[in-house]
Structure 1
């Protein structure tokens, strides 16, 4: 059984491709995001996705047939992003027949099942690296000719997203398409970073980013200097939790939030009805009910951790789609956070228009608003 766990990876290395070009079926060496050199016959035709939400990048490259190469995937997409899953299922009903593996509680899949699916490659997130190597499954898969390649959109996404998209573009034989996506992403990121640089000495609000608020009764999961924490920094804010969380993910106690008295609070959410039925989580995402999401967001501000803080008094409390933390679409989140933190500076930036353009140019499903909500 191959174990999926959230583990910190040791290093992130930019893409290095051995051989300038490759003809169909040619075996090339690809350096994955962890620095491993992996031999793969490209373009691959049969792929196992180590996480169902990897369809976010597959769809951006194989837009016409996003499931055409997928012969197996983990079963998390439906559970973690029910609204997104439903949108894809409506257009691609065949995805319901793709073999799934593993379980969200034990985080495992059957290696014999994986071999039986005859994949040309297995694409895994970096957090699975330690567990898979300790179990010796990379070597076992290699003995039957199945390479495993690591990518990263979660641990250090602002550093590794472009390289990860280029790796997948090489695997799929969609290198030009990957470069087109990377260019679009960089342009949209520059909309924020260039403007902030020109603004000079801008007052940066203190922001508390809560990870999956309301998912459980515990409070409060957050982000260190990476992922949403880094997005806050890029959007012109100060990530309150960076001082207390040394890695990408961690927890801040309620008393510290009150003591830090953040100017803004941003809570990540998604439709987690299959995980926590009727939970207090904020169900933002494609096609979400804004009024319902806002009411649940208001409910979360009544927890002890937010007693009397400036963000609640000023109603600068927001919810944002959780899945930005694990997809190549983080630039959308950066734009939206920048508008919340510096509304005058980014008044003309239309985040919905940016997200709609992403869908029109790269994704096979139509854009459905609902990814953000605010109390104010």
Structure 2
């Protein structure tokens, strides 16, 4: 079984029973993305946070992590290394938080999570599904578990997740403001795209491995779903269920109008398309150019027309992913978005809500 730290020892059951359940003088009711009504302390001073680290900051403000006692470190430091560096430089306390392990890697430790005696545990829906009875063991110890879901890329779940965070962190007005910002920005894109008369073909590829190896494209999820919503025709739709590589021959035959490379702040990958905090556009462009040397790519419409773009993979399922939605839609239908500046909107989001100022490359077109 994947969760080796949970199933490894029967001592966990004893620990659950041995710890007295937390008692709270005052509670509030929070609705999570599973439509469960969860009783949480009105003031939660000990929070276990599994994922959605930037969204937690956006809702809770610059001092939000003063109330966090444990995190799943590898889902931040391991998956988004440059992002981790940027935030720990701004808020050093984050690096000192107890690591409870990572669910998908099988290193999540229920013993460690329980030993932190959190007032509430906040998990992503995918963590909830993977943990299985680990969640019920947390709840048996008197720890309320609230499930968020920005991964679904659904406006309603973004809103519910944000309002739940606002209630837990005592920031309901700020949370509502963020939810309204997100909803209105998303609705504006949808309204404009409805007027589009063309559906440009788009090929998206994860830029993790560099040009020498074909990496994943996306079907009905992640960038694939966003391309379709932005008024494009995702050439991977129907070819891969969720994600997976497309054959070079198929990509050439489809002759995409736009190519989208998804970059991030990976460590130890000297050919990856690097993007994120602290990365200059010129460096991202340097990593993008070898893709143009792939056999046959010089004949693709996207390459001939200079429509090769890169977008930050780490922002695809966040409270600021509306800016990437705007960028994709404007790339596909520039005439409908002449008055929309996705980069300026992303800058403004960081300026208003995040503890670090925007600095780096999150969306760019290869010159």
TM interval, shorter chain, is: 0.7 to 0.9
- After TM superposition, list the pairs within 5 Å mapping 1:254-269 onto structure 2: 254-269=248-263
Whether the 8 Å contact between 1:2 and 1:109 is mirrored in structure 2 is: no
1:260/1:158 CA distance change after superposition, 3 Å: farther
Q: Please give the root-mean-square deviation of Cα atoms over the aligned residues, in Å.
A: 2.6
1:142/1:372 CA distance change after superposition, 3 Å: same
Compute the displacement of 1:86 (Å): 2.4
2-structure distance, mates of 1:188, 1:156: 14
Counterpart residue number, 1:285: 276
Compute the displacement of 1:177 (Å): 1.2
1:47/1:215 CA distance change after superposition, 3 Å: farther
Counterpart residue number, 1:96: 95
SS class of match (1:209): strand
1:265-306: CA deviations, max 9, x gaps?
111111112xxx143211111231211110111113334585
SS class of match (1:115): helix
Counterpart residue number, 1:175: 172
SS class of match (2:334): coil
1-structure distance, mates of 2:286, 2:348: 29
1:360/1:341 CA distance change after superposition, 3 Å: same
2-structure distance, mates of 1:265, 1:282: 14
SS class of match (2:343): helix
1:25/1:260 CA distance change after superposition, 3 Å: farther
1-structure distance, mates of 2:97, 2:226: 34
Counterpart residue number, 2:12: none
Whether the 8 Å contact between 2:123 and 2:145 is mirrored in structure 1 is: yes
- After TM superposition, list the pairs within 5 Å mapping 1:187-202 onto structure 2: 187-197=184-194, 200-202=195-197
Question: Mean Cα displacement is larger for which, 34-43 or 115-124?
Answer: 34-43
Compute the displacement of 1:41 (Å): 2.3
Counterpart residue number, 2:27: 27
SS class of match (1:242): coil
Compute the displacement of 1:192 (Å): 2.4
1-structure distance, mates of 2:159, 2:60: 17
2-structure distance, mates of 1:272, 1:95: 20
Unaligned runs of 5+ in 2: 5-23
Compute the displacement of 1:217 (Å): 5.9
Counterpart residue number, 1:85: 84
Counterpart residue number, 2:126: 127
The partner residue of 1:334 within 325, 341, 345 is 325
Counterpart residue number, 1:70: 68
Unaligned runs of 5+ in 1: 5-23
1-structure distance, mates of 2:119, 2:2: 18
Compute the displacement of 1:28 (Å): 4.1
2-structure distance, mates of 1:239, 1:168: 33
Counterpart residue number, 1:357: 348
Counterpart residue number, 1:11: none
2-structure distance, mates of 1:227, 1:343: 22
Counterpart residue number, 2:266: 272
2-structure distance, mates of 1:281, 1:191: 33
2-structure distance, mates of 1:364, 1:242: 37
Compute the displacement of 1:152 (Å): 1.0
1:280/1:47 CA distance change after superposition, 3 Å: same
Whether the 8 Å contact between 2:200 and 2:332 is mirrored in structure 1 is: yes
Whether the 8 Å contact between 1:280 and 1:300 is mirrored in structure 2 is: no
Counterpart residue number, 1:16: none
Compute the displacement of 1:210 (Å): 1.6
Count of residues in Structure 1 that have an aligned counterpart in Structure 2: 347
TM-score (norm. length: structure 1): 0.84
The partner residue of 2:55 within 45, 54, 57 is 57
Counterpart residue number, 2:220: 225
Compute the displacement of 1:122 (Å): 1.4
1:158-213: CA deviations, max 9, x gaps?
4521121112222222221111001111232244223333xx34212111122344
2-structure distance, mates of 1:157, 1:325: 12
